[in-house]
Amino acid sequence: MREGLHKIASADDTIVALSTPIGRSAIGVVRISGSLAATIASQFFKTASSLIHRQAAVGRWESSNGQIVDEVVAIFYKAPHSYTGEDVLEISAHGNPLILNQIVCMVQSEGARAAQPGEFTLRAVTHGKMDLIQAEAVRNFIDAQTNGQARTALRQIEGAVSKRIAPIKERIVDLIAHLEAGIDFSEDDVELPDNTQTADQVSVLRAALEELHETYSYGKVLQAGVRIVIAGRPNVGKSSLFNRLVAMDRAIVTAIPGTTRDVLSEFADLDGIPLRFFDTAGVRETLDEVEKLGVTRTLETLSEGDLALLIVDGSRPVTDEDLGLREKLGTLPHLLVANKADLVVTREPALEALKPIWISARTGEGLDALKESMRTFLGSSRAEGLSESVLTTARQNDAVVRAGVSLRAGELALRAGTPHEMVLLDLYDSLSALNELTGEITTEDILGRIFSTFCIGK
Amino acid sequence: MFDESYEVVVVGAGHAGCEAAHAAARMGCATALYTMNADLIAQMSCNPAVGGIAKGHLVREIDALGGIMGLVADEGGIQFRLLNTSRGPAVWSPRAQEDKALYRTLMRRTLERTPNLFIKQAEVTTLLFDRRAAVGIELQDGRRVAARAVVLTTGTFLNGLIHIGEKQFTAGRSGEPSSISLANCIRELGFDCGRLKTGTPPRLDRRTIDFSAFERQEGDSRPTPFSLRTRQELRNTVCCHITQTNEKIHGIIRQNMSRSPLYSGQIQGIGPRYCPSLEDKVVKFADRDHHQIVLEPEGIDTHEIYVNGMSTSLPIDVQREILGRMKGLESAQMIRPGYAIEYDFVQPTELHPSLETKRAESLFFAGQINGTTGYEEAAAQGIVAGINAASKVRGEPAMVLNRSDAYIGIMIDDLVTKGTSEPYRMFTSRAEFRLNLRIDNADRRLTPIGRKLGLVTEEHWQEYLRRSGRIESMHAQMSSIKPDPAHAFFTTRGLDLKDRPTIVALLRRPEIHLEDLMKEGVLDSENLRAEDIVSIETAIKYEGYLKQQEREVEKLRNAEAKRIPHDLDYAQMPGLSREIIEKLSRVRPASIAQASRIPGVTPASISILLFHIAMRRLSDHPESVV
């Protein structure tokens, strides 16, 4: 078992991190430092100009299949004339957490790893970039190390995630202990594990890691906020509901259909889950160019949403346009909301058949029921993600993926009849990756497991 | 003031002391080896065997550095087995049954033939210091002996206390006095001492055993030597016998548990989990209805038989009762009873990786005093302490082997970084770079180091160069030769060589072995030795895994290269918790890599450490600011 090395922030890797706080902001900055910075830039950053030391370049950040992720400004600093003393690329993108997260992930996919708190500063010092008088930086660094990391560790690493990882690690330690006992104590009457059975057990663990990895797609959303799009025909009260839900007079509300032409968004909080509500332009056939543009934006926003609140006017009969919009939602889950309940005397049977949630954005009637429905939606359809643990950071996801890849290699080696001391390399690799996330397993723990499982010793 | 004077004084002539004295003397230092009984040099106080899994690796490494245990064990061996051959070559390990008396004789002869080495019989009672450096020893008769470096290898003698049932008495080993004044001297110096326990089984009279009741365990038909320098033919002249305990025996043990000093509270010291006494096995693994017992002869010229697996401190009458219930041992006569022994050890975190103590300069510890168990573990520390004592005298830097260099490096790093709470034994699972640390490449890893130190003789060195030459020329041949596909070797096996692979490419296939290729005439190789074949084939067959491991070794080297200044004051370092300051201050790690291995040291504290070292370098060399 390799011990300790994972505790050392390697100075040779290229590191990446979001340098601005997570959350809503105009601009978010992703910073890359290390020898791979320029290569990574050339991979994703498409610009007419070229990257020149200390000059801002405007361009598109594109995925490998040419899809645009965002319009960004990139500044390249050539080593040693950068903050860290290494090649540095700073990417200023729009402050959307999802986009920023995606950029970080793309950079990681090209070989960079997630920076630890304070690591950029550490590198600056290592490369002699820090003036000794800048003692302030030392304190910042230490704060980042102790408070920042401790906080993160408490909230996530030592929290719910480790509860899910711990049993998987336990099983890996068991498997390792069995294989090791077969090597170190082959003279001691120890029963040898069967290759196929062991491979099957490894396979089960890999599946468990994969399941955990799958929670990351939701975890990302959870971290960045669940995107809830309010949609509907014009003048059904979308903006009123938006204001109710975010509890401030953000959207301009008028009786004139088509008032909202751009997409507004605001954060709100439901039981601690960040929700991001989007108020969109009403969808209808229109000749107004500006309004048409608004409708297009609405449809775009819907395509990036996690949940739609489809609003209909409960005081009027359901229209084909209402139903048509429902079709347009496609696979996006939605809740049907009938607004203006305060104006309704008798509920129309055609609408009632669709089982909408009745509310009044004006009086606030039915809002609790709506929240309850959203809660149910978030809780049930998202892999019970709220009660159970999900991976929320790229770093966690990265470690889980690496552990899974190593287990896969170990499984194949077992099935091929490879000597166990080599199979163990892969199993230890997976354990090391998980060691980065939860309480460390050491050689001593593995020996302890062997001695408590087998009667060793002549 | 001093009656005599030497450059290096070694106290204790067990397995650690012999290697230490030999190494220091070979390196040119006038060396005195002190023992309480010159007739019991290199006594094997427990089992009559050398080697075993991981331990055999240690013996090969000692030999590659220029040590003597391997040569002596080969010559004194009476049955040889290479263990773990059903697995890959990285975990193959030699083991041999030894003739104990012959082993003592051969070791003493080897020491007596070593220039600069003088054997002395006397009890050492006190260490002498000038300020914080050891400058000699005082003997029981009052004589004072000057030394520029002192190596302590006291084994189980420090405050040794033997337990047999309810009886207990002070002793260093069965029938030998313990060292009480020296133990007090070490405690008074302030060393962090603890108590450990170990045990040994009863010995029986061969004539009273019915061997027909047991399964035979034979030696290998082609014995593997410990030392690559051994040229004489190795022969198996004895056989071991396997049997097992039964429920009746377990019942006897349970009934008498209150009379076991282990369970009555009489023994305070901590015993090894991997070498439990029989009563321990019965209690901890109550669901097992049998435990394995191996009968091993103690030598050729003796009837004494060692009962491996029956280590016990139960009273003699209970030991007799247990033996009486074992098939084939019903009428066995006991020559000596089993016993447990408690002894003092010093927490090895008191040591530098050179095995010099941090508390006193020029004072080195090796063997059981450092909390280890096993002849091989002791000898491996002995050679390191001897080398570094001599280097100290010569004013040269200490030799420290890395975890990626040798099992010896792993053991010492584990000890000085983590300390120990039970007798430490080597296992291959402790080696994170196990695939690289094989018995077949111990010479490539270590003989050049031993040569540079002056420990490897000219003859040994020439032998090494010849073997390296053989391997290299064979390698060159194999990467160019493309064997004839029509050769019987391939046609009889139904192998199709359409793509005309080289021998190297062929050897990558798991089912093809170099030895077979040579035996069946595909390849000519008259001068290759068995150990050469293993080296060549392993490097090819497991190239992928070896490369994977090499990348990890590189990471370790980088982290080892980040040195931590000796005088770093952790208490003055903001951001470190009191607990971590305490851990770091006790171990005083030499590198970032070592610091990271200290249990409980967090990634955040490692970053803080890196940060401070970088800041400190800045303040020392402001011109390095870019």
Euclidean distance between CA atoms A71 and A68, whole angstroms = 8
In the predicted model, what is the mean pLDDT of residues B247-253? 96
Report the residue from B53, B607, B614 with minimal CB separation from A118: B607
- Assign residue A9 a region (left: φ > 0; alpha: ψ between -120 and 50; beta: otherwise): beta
Report the residue from B291, B434, B618 with minimal CB separation from A455: B291
CATH label of the domain that carries residue A93: 3.30.1360.120
Same domain, A252 and A346: yes
What pLDDT is stored for residue A271 in this prediction? 63
Residue B500 placed within a domain:
yes
Q: How far apart are the first and last CA of chain A?
A: 25
Same domain, A70 and A122: yes
Residue B255 confidence (pLDDT) above 50? yes
Q: Where do runs of H (alpha helix) occur along A149-232?
A: 149-152, 160-184, 195-224
Interior/surface letters B265-287, b for 16+ CB within 10 angstroms, e for the rest? ebbebbbbbbbbbbbbbbbebee
Same domain, B397 and B491: no
Same domain, A253 and A179: no
Q: Kindly determine whether residue A186 and residue B83, on different chains, have CB atoms separated by under 8 Å.
A: yes
Alpha carbon distances (Å) from B223 to A84, B142, B218, B295: 59, 49, 11, 20
Residue A316 placed within a domain:
yes
| Chain B contact set for A450 (CB, 8 A) | 429
Q: Kindly determine whether residue A7 and residue B429, on different chains, have CB atoms separated by under 8 Å.
A: no
CATH label of the domain that carries residue B613: 1.10.150.570
Euclidean distance between CA atoms A278 and A242, whole angstroms = 8
Chain A: residue whose CA lies nearest to B86: A419
Asked if the C-beta of A415 comes within 8 angstroms of chain B's C-beta atoms, the answer is no
> 3-state SS of chain B: helix, strand, coil percent to 5?
40, 20, 40
Measured at the alpha carbon of residue A152, what is the angle toward residues A147 and A155, in degrees to the nearest 5? 120
Same domain, B337 and B359: no
Euclidean distance between CA atoms A207 and A194, whole angstroms = 20
Euclidean distance between CA atoms B227 and B90, whole angstroms = 17
- Residue where one domain finishes, among candidates B326, B342, B358: B342
Residue B459 placed within a domain:
no
Residue A126 placed within a domain:
yes
Chain B: residue whose CA lies nearest to A148: B604
Euclidean distance between CA atoms A394 and B459, whole angstroms = 59
ipTM of the prediction: 0.91
Q: Kindly determine whether residue B606 and residue A457, on different chains, have CB atoms separated by under 8 Å.
A: no
Residue B38 confidence (pLDDT) above 80? yes
Q: Name the A residues in 84-123 with CB < 8 Å from any B CB.
A: 85, 116, 118-119, 121-122
Alpha carbon distances (Å) from B523 to B474, B496, B575: 10, 18, 64
Whether the Cβ atoms of residue B401 and residue B57 lie closer than 8 Å to each other: no
Alpha carbon distances (Å) from B343 to A146, B178, B587: 43, 9, 24
Residues 6+ apart with CB under 8 A from A120: A15, A17, A19, A31, A33, A83, A84
CATH label of the domain that carries residue B248: 2.40.30.260
Got the DSSP string for B339-405? EEEEEEEE-GGGB-TTSBBSSSBTEEE-SGGGTB-SHHHHHHHHHHHHHHHHHHHHT-PPP---TTT
Helix A135-143 with A119-126: angle, nearest 10 deg: 140
Same domain, B537 and B618: no
Q: Kindly determine whether residue B274 and residue A7, on different chains, have CB atoms separated by under 8 Å.
A: no
H or E element that contains B215: strand B215-217
Q: What is the mean pLDDT of chain B?
A: 93
- Residue where one domain finishes, among candidates B287, B311, B342: B342
- Residue where one domain finishes, among candidates A123, A155, A187: A155
In the predicted model, what is the mean pLDDT of residues B306-312? 95
Q: What token pair was written down for A28?
A: 């978010």
Alpha carbon distances (Å) from A138 to A170, A384, B608, B609: 38, 42, 9, 12
Tell me the three state secondary structure of residue B34.
strand
Residues 6+ apart with CB under 8 A from A53: A76, A77, A78, A81
Same domain, B182 and B46: yes
**Identity of the residue numbered A130:** M
Q: Kindly determine whether residue A9 and residue B601, on different chains, have CB atoms separated by under 8 Å.
A: no
Say how many CA atoms lie within 13 Å of B43 toward its Cβ: 19
Tell me the three state secondary structure of residue A432.
helix
Residue B50 placed within a domain:
yes
Tokens 């010159």, residue?
A: B38
In the predicted model, what is the mean pLDDT of residues B39-49? 96
| Chain B contact set for A420 (CB, 8 A) | 87
Whether the Cβ atoms of residue B189 and residue B286 lie closer than 8 Å to each other: no
Euclidean distance between CA atoms A182 and B91, whole angstroms = 11
Listed residue (B98, B116, B99, B134) closest to B11, CA to CA: B134
Measured at the alpha carbon of residue B112, what is the angle toward residues B109 and B114, in degrees to the nearest 5? 110
Q: Name the B residues in 530-549 with CB < 8 Å from any A CB.
A: 542, 545, 548-549
Whether the Cβ atoms of residue A340 and residue A360 lie closer than 8 Å to each other: yes
Q: Model confidence over B86-137: pLDDT tens digits? A: 899 999 999 999 999 999 999 999 999 999 999 999 999 999 999 899 999 9
Same domain, A74 and A215: no
Asked if the C-beta of B402 comes within 8 angstroms of chain A's C-beta atoms, the answer is no
Residue B464 placed within a domain:
no
Q: What token pair was written down for B489?
A: 């070797």
Q: Kindly determine whether residue A3 and residue B555, on different chains, have CB atoms separated by under 8 Å.
A: no
Residue B559 placed within a domain:
no
Same domain, A140 and A59: yes
Same domain, A268 and A125: no
- Write out residues in chain A with pLDDT < 70, as ranges: 21-25, 130-160, 217-225, 248-261, 271-274, 378-389, 392, 458
| Chain B contact set for A443 (CB, 8 A) | 429-430, 432
What pLDDT is stored for residue B224 in this prediction? 96
Residue A332 placed within a domain:
yes
Same domain, B399 and B508: no
Euclidean distance between CA atoms A411 and A206, whole angstroms = 9
Measure in Å the smallest separation between the Cα of B354 and chain A Cα atoms: 21
Same domain, A31 and A142: yes
B10: β partners: B33, B151
Measure in Å the smallest separation between the Cα of A409 and chain B Cα atoms: 12
Q: Kindly determine whether residue B596 and residue A4, on different chains, have CB atoms separated by under 8 Å.
A: yes
Residue A385 placed within a domain:
no
Q: What token pair was written down for A144?
A: 């980042």
What pLDDT is stored for residue B247 in this prediction? 95
Residue A458 placed within a domain:
no
A109: β partners: none
Same domain, B191 and B219: no
Q: Kindly determine whether residue A184 and residue B429, on different chains, have CB atoms separated by under 8 Å.
A: yes
Same domain, B594 and B525: no
Instruction: Compare A113 and B403 and report the one with higher pLDDT.
Output: B403
| Chain A contact set for B47 (CB, 8 A) | 458
What pLDDT is stored for residue A137 in this prediction? 56
Asked if the C-beta of A187 comes within 8 angstroms of chain B's C-beta atoms, the answer is yes
Q: Kindly determine whether residue A8 and residue B435, on different chains, have CB atoms separated by under 8 Å.
A: no
Q: Kindly determine whether residue B427 and residue A12, on different chains, have CB atoms separated by under 8 Å.
A: no
Measure in Å the smallest separation between the Cα of A253 and chain B Cα atoms: 51
Same domain, A136 and A243: no
Burial class (CB in 10 A: 0-12, 13-18, 19+), B93: buried
Chain B: residue whose CA lies nearest to A450: B274
Same domain, B270 and B391: no
Q: Kindly determine whether residue B429 and residue A126, on different chains, have CB atoms separated by under 8 Å.
A: no
Euclidean distance between CA atoms B152 and B135, whole angstroms = 13
User: Which residues form the domain of B573?
Assistant: 565-624
Rounded to two decimals, the pTM is: 0.84
What pLDDT is stored for residue B273 in this prediction? 86
Whether the Cβ atoms of residue A60 and residue A48 lie closer than 8 Å to each other: no
User: Which residues form the domain of A36?
Assistant: 5-155
Q: Model confidence over A47-82: pLDDT tens digits? A: 887 888 988 899 999 988 888 888 999 999 998 899
Residue A339 placed within a domain:
yes
Listed residue (A440, A123, A141, A131) closest to B605, CA to CA: A141
CATH label of the domain that carries residue B400: 3.50.50.60
Asked if the C-beta of A163 comes within 8 angstroms of chain B's C-beta atoms, the answer is no
| Chain A contact set for B429 (CB, 8 A) | 1, 180, 183-184, 443, 446-447, 450
Whether the Cβ atoms of residue B518 and residue B525 lie closer than 8 Å to each other: yes
Cis omega (within 30 of 0) for bond into B276: no
Measured at the alpha carbon of residue B125, what is the angle toward residues B123 and B129, in degrees to the nearest 5? 130
In the predicted model, what is the mean pLDDT of residues B210-234? 95
Say how many CA atoms lie within 13 Å of B187 toward its Cβ: 14
Asked if the C-beta of A305 comes within 8 angstroms of chain B's C-beta atoms, the answer is no
Report the residue from B52, B542, B604 with minimal CB separation from A149: B604
- Residue where one domain finishes, among candidates A353, A379, A405: A379
Same domain, A149 and A164: no
Same domain, B285 and B427: no
> How many C-beta neighbours within 10 Å does residue A240 have?
20
> How many C-beta neighbours within 10 Å does residue B505 have?
16
Got the DSSP string for B127-195? EEEETTEEEEEEETTS-EEEEEEEEE--TT-BT-EEEETTEEEE-SBTTB--BHHHHHHHHHTT--EEE
Residue A386 placed within a domain:
no
Residue B384 confidence (pLDDT) above 90? yes
A76: β partners: A53, A89
What pLDDT is stored for residue A133 in this prediction? 47
Same domain, B338 and B351: no
Which DSSP state fits B38? G
Q: Model confidence over B485-494: pLDDT tens digits? A: 889 999 898 8
Asked if the C-beta of A402 comes within 8 angstroms of chain B's C-beta atoms, the answer is no
Q: What is the domain count for chain B?
A: 4
Q: How many residues does chain B have?
A: 626
Whether the Cβ atoms of residue A284 and residue A234 lie closer than 8 Å to each other: yes
Which DSSP state fits A330? T
- Residue where one domain finishes, among candidates B288, B322, B342: B342
Total CB pairs under 8 A between chain A and B: 180
Whether the Cβ atoms of residue B43 and residue B363 lie closer than 8 Å to each other: no
Chain B: residue whose CA lies nearest to A457: B275
Residue B124 placed within a domain:
yes
What pLDDT is stored for residue A324 in this prediction? 87
Same domain, B23 and B168: yes
Listed residue (B386, B361, B366, B393) closest to B377, CA to CA: B366
Measure in Å the smallest separation between the Cα of A91 and chain B Cα atoms: 25
What pLDDT is stored for residue B624 in this prediction? 46
Listed residue (B557, B149, B87) closest to B390, CA to CA: B149
Q: In what order do the strands lie in the sheet with B93-98?
A: B49-51, B93-98, B77-83
**Beta strand B167-170 pairing with B363-365:** unpaired
What pLDDT is stored for residue A148 in this prediction? 45
Q: Kindly determine whether residue A422 and residue B552, on different chains, have CB atoms separated by under 8 Å.
A: no
Quickly state the pLDDT bin for B332 (edges 50, 70, 90): very high
Residue B554 placed within a domain:
no
| Chain A contact set for B294 (CB, 8 A) | 458
Q: Kindly determine whether residue B548 and residue A425, on different chains, have CB atoms separated by under 8 Å.
A: yes
Residue A96 placed within a domain:
yes
Same domain, A56 and A178: no
Tokens 């245990």, residue?
A: B69
Euclidean distance between CA atoms B2 and B5, whole angstroms = 7
CATH label of the domain that carries residue A408: 1.20.120.430
Its sign, for the CA torsion B526, B529, B535, B541, is positive
Burial class (CB in 10 A: 0-12, 13-18, 19+), A372: exposed
Same domain, B173 and B210: no
Q: What is the domain count for chain A?
A: 3
Same domain, A70 and A137: yes
Same domain, A12 and A129: yes
A30: β partners: A18, A91
Alpha carbon distances (Å) from B303 to B153, B201, B300, B322: 31, 16, 8, 20
Report the residue from B83, B274, B559 with minimal CB separation from A8: B559
Euclidean distance between CA atoms B119 and B8, whole angstroms = 12
Residue B558 placed within a domain:
no
Chain A: residue whose CA lies nearest to B276: A457
